[in-house]
């Protein structure tokens, strides 16, 4: 399986460039000197103990959180406090949350067409066609007219993925997309993500699903205490971790 992932094309083009990025919450130093280059087509899994700053890192990439030092460049656009830049980057970067965050007052279809219609100014009809296309892709076109509250967790998360894809993002961020799900629903969401990866989507994924990391990732990043402690190809990362903290973490999460 690992070979399949390796065969996927990774271009030389840089999708995300993070240089010396630091972030504080008040006086608490959450992210320290983060340097990270993500090429187009890369599939990166971010792992690490709770509170290590994984969520904060990927939320900085679409400016849901502000960083205080260093620079983040997404798709050639420098993230600054300029609102135009931020909105542009956000419309190019899709994000999937742990708790789905679907809009409960809108139907599934409306959830998916909202941003294309208002941000991309896509005509309603076309937006609905795009939405149905992606809902078919995540295998729930028949739920289009229901409300999020009427769907199972796994279905909701697949809708959330479809909703992001409707904006035709060039990069997808996932923040523990499966950790609020029952075990039997995890697979359906992971399958969706795998097929997305196979289509060459640039993905950054915070997850504890190490099977997924082995199968899909071309790089695993390990974070601890706000730093990137180690990064490597999945095989190397799992079989031959260098850092003590990585070893401890892997033994805890794989060792049961």
Ligand X SMILES: Nc1ncnc2c1ncn2[C@@H]1O[C@H](COP(=O)(O)OP(=O)(O)OP(=O)(O)O)[C@@H](O)[C@H]1O
Q: Does 25 bind ligand X (CB under 6 A)?
A: yes
* Among ligand X, Mg ion, other proteins, none, partner that 52 touches (CB below 5 to 8 angstroms by kind): ligand X
Instruction: Specify whether the CB–CB gap between 45 and 22 falls below 8 A.
Output: no
Q: Could you tell me the CA-to-CA distances from 18 to 27, 134, 187, 219, 254 in Å, in that order?
A: 22, 30, 32, 16, 30
Q: Kindly tell me which residue out of 40, 43, 54, 90 binds ligand X, with binding defined by CB under 6 A.
A: 54
Q: Kindly tell me which residue out of 2, 14, 114, 180 binds other proteins, with binding defined by CB under 8 A.
A: 114
d(CA 186, CA 69): 37
Nearer to other proteins, 105 or 247 (CB): 105
3-state SS class at 147: coil
Instruction: Specify whether the CB–CB gap between 148 and 102 falls below 8 A.
Output: yes
Contact positions with other proteins (CB under 8 A) in 125-164: 147-150, 163-164
Residue of 214, 236, 204 lying closest to 38 (CA atoms) = 204
* Among other proteins, Mg ion, ligand X, none, partner that 56 touches (CB below 5 to 8 angstroms by kind): ligand X
Q: Does 55 bind ligand X (CB under 6 A)?
A: yes
Q: Kindly tell me which residue out of 4, 13, 20, 51 binds ligand X, with binding defined by CB under 6 A.
A: 51
Site for ligand X, rule CB under 6 A: 25, 28, 30, 48, 50-56
């Amino acid at each position: 399986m690992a070979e399949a992932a390796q065969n996927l094309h990774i271009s030389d083009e840089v999708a995300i460039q993070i240089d010396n990025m630091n972030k504080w919450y008040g006086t608490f130093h959450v992210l320290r000197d983060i340097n990270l280059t993500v090429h187009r087509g890369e599939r990166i899994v971010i792992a690490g103990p709770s509170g290590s700053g994984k969520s904060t890192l990927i939320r900085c990439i679409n400016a849901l959180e502000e960083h205080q030092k260093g620079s983040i460049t997404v798709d050639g656009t420098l993230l600054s406090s300029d609102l135009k830049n931020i909105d542009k980057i956000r419309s190019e970067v899709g994000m999937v949350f742990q708790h789905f965050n679907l809009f409960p007052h809108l139907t599934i279809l409306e959830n998916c067409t909202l941003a294309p219609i208002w941000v991309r100014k896509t005509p309603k009809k076309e937006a609905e066609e795009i939405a149905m296309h992606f809902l078919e892709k995540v295998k729930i076109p028949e739920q289009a007219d229901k409300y999020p509250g009427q769907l199972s967790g796994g279905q909701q998360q697949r809708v959330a993925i479809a909703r992001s894809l409707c904006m035709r993002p060039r990069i997808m961020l996932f923040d523990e997309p499966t950790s609020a799900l029952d075990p039997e629903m995890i697979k359906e969401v992971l399958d969706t993500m795998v097929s997305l990866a196979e289509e060459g989507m640039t993905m950054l994924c915070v997850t504890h699903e190490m099977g997924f990391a082995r199968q899909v990732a071309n790089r695993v990043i390990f974070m601890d205490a706000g730093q990137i402690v180690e990064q490597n190809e999945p095989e190397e990362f799992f079989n031959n971790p260098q850092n003590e903290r990585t070893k401890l973490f892997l033994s805890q999460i794989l060792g049961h």
